[in-house]
Amino acid sequence: VQRLLNRCQLDLELRLAAGVKGLERMITEWAINRPALALAGFTDHFDHHRIQVFGSNEIAFLESLTERKRMTALSRILDAEPPCIIVSTDRTPSIKLLAEADKRQIPLLLSSLNSSALTAKLVETLMDEFAPRLTAHGALVHVFGLGVLISGKSGVGKSECSLELIARGHRLVADDIVIIRRRQPGMLMGAGSEVVRHHMEIQGAGIVDIMSLYGVGAVMDETQINVHIQLEAWRQDMEFDRVGMEDRFTRILGILVPEYILPVEPGRNLSIIVETVVLNQMMKNQGINTAARFNERLIRRMAPVQSPYFSSLPSSHSSPPRKPDSST
């Protein structure tokens, strides 16, 4: 709860009203609960392990009860020991509720946001916090509006390719360490480590600050991952896709991402190739497959063309025409 308060105090306009000794309570899932039914007495499906949000309806309901019934209703919530309680719309809770929260060491937070805005922002923050994540070795660059994850063995040229893309007007998200999170529904977000954010290691030059060198427009804090490019050192025995008829995908945190394997050898301009790959993927996203169209044109070109003149001539192997039957 302390971590939530530190992270969202300004965004959610939170302030601690009671239960300071319970700030170490653990929040175990991203979903929240509105305890209206539990306050009314129906607790069969009460999600007590979630954050409890008291809106205007819950506070108005409590204020309509007698003191005894109010304490009975609150006891149904407090006895379950939720991780914390948040009161929205800047409503002032009763002195009894504040005292009970302090007594039971349950943090009680106040927010000036209305229930809808508070719920939306709180769920978004918790979903991001609880999202499955992994750390990948590579570079993440924002190219033509798509997030491109560039990976490969050490020394293959990931940072050099990213640096050239930045020089061509694209934006760096992360270098060397990419933190990938899976957001709902089916979205991969990538960001850099806070320690090395907006920095890049160039072999022979050391660590450089991209923001200082190229300006704030050359960096981003995070982006969605739309394309994965694997850089492979060129080998004589390795086969690479030369036509692009079959789409290739890789699975990251259970989500399929379009993948391209690019050979690396002296003389190849990888930044331009990456730009071309991204533009081609953007066309595929719009339903335009260049390789499939080329294949269709090639098939039509290879199909035999029969001339109307030659089709009117009799074939040398055809049987003579039959004479008409005299009976008819």
Query: Which residues does the annotation mark as catalytic?
Result: 137, 158, 176, 242
- The answer to whether 166 and 116 have CB atoms below 8 angstroms apart is no
Tokens encoding 196: 């090395």
User: What amino acid is encoded at 59 in this protein?
Assistant: I
- The rounded distance, in Å, linking the Cα atoms of 138 and 151 is 4
- The rounded distance, in Å, linking the Cα atoms of 160 and 178 is 16
- The answer to whether 28 and 130 have CB atoms below 8 angstroms apart is no
Q: Is 22 helix (H, G, I), strand (E, B) or coil?
A: helix
- The rounded distance, in Å, linking the Cα atoms of 262 and 247 is 14
- The answer to whether 182 and 132 have CB atoms below 8 angstroms apart is yes
Q: Is 327 helix (H, G, I), strand (E, B) or coil?
A: coil
Tokens encoding 306: 């029969």
Indicate the pairing of strand 187-192 with strand 171-183.
antiparallel
118-to-11, 27, 58 alpha-carbon distances in Å: 9, 17, 15
Helices (H) and strands (E) in the chain, counts: 11, 14
61-to-113, 143, 212 alpha-carbon distances in Å: 19, 53, 56
